[in-house]
Chains A and B, each alone.
Chain A
Amino acid sequence: MTERPHTDHTRYTQELAETLDLRDVPADAVAQIVREVESHLVESGEDPVEAFGPVARYADQFAPRSRERGLLTLAVSAGLLGFGGAFLVISGVFGLLDETAELWGLPPWARLVGGAALIATFATMVVVLAVGSRRRAAAWRLGQTGS
């Protein structure tokens, strides 16, 4: 890309890019939205907040905030499931090797099965997240990227 002479806009556009990215807007669409803001600011010489409003509110126009929170919740619960599953499986393996290694009075095989089930759920959630993200990306048809 060519140089950007208006460095005072960069903070606004960077923050906008980060916010849209957090809200799961595809990178290509983020680049276009941000570039159009830059283009307008360079030409009009307007103040970013004056012309486009606060970053969060401008981002609302393209991706509602709820998506950000929903995605975060999903990612955190997927992480907890994966971690918990791995913990149970490891505990089960130790239980099989050494009978004194107990956990919540559960027999080792129950820990293994429970852990495997949690990991399977975790894997499913990761797939759902990935497919959902790709589907949303496909729904974003913000034209050609041009140059």
Chain B
Amino acid sequence: MDTPSWPAEWLRSALSGAVLSIVSEGETYGYVIAQRLADGGMGVVKGGTLYPLLARLEQDGDVTATWREGTSGPGRKYYALTEAGAARLEAHRRDWAAFTEASTAIIMGTRGTS
């Protein structure tokens, strides 16, 4: 499968909402989140970008994290959405939809007459 490579600033603006949304579907950990993003067509998100974002979300109280031991190795850090995170995601989805609709209309030249 072709891995798209979007401009870094596009990814930066879309990433936190996408990560919150993936975590909202159920407790999960970094590597799986990166794979879900890639499979969803957002391109490769490197660990150097993803984990600091997860740490910020955790510090802001949008997600909580729990370490689970594996059979060997360092284990996995699972993230789950908090109530505050769910509220933020809901607001973010509304705003994002409005913003992308408006910007898409302008970019595509389909904006109606003012």
Contact = CB atoms under 8 A, between A and B. Distances in A.
Contacts of A53: 46, 48
A83 B66 CA distance: 46
B73 A145 contact: no
A32 interface: yes
Contact of A143 (B30, B64, B74, B76): B64
B77 A36 contact: yes
A2 B75 CA distance: 9
Contacts of A144: 64-67
Q: Which of B58, B66, B74, B76 has the most CB of A within 10 A?
A: B74
A113 B29 CA distance: 60
A36 B51 contact: yes
B48 to A, nearest CB: 4
B55 A38 contact: no
Interface string A31-42: 011011111111
Interface string A55-78: 001100110000000000000000
B3 interface: no
B72 interface: yes
Given A58-B48, A143-B66, A39 B76 contact: yes
B31 A62 contact: no
Contacts of B34: 44
Interface string A1-29: 11111000000000000000000000000
Interface of B: 29-31, 34, 46-48, 51-52, 55, 58-59, 64-69, 72-77
Interface of A: 1-5, 32-33, 35-44, 46, 50-53, 57-58, 61-62, 140-147
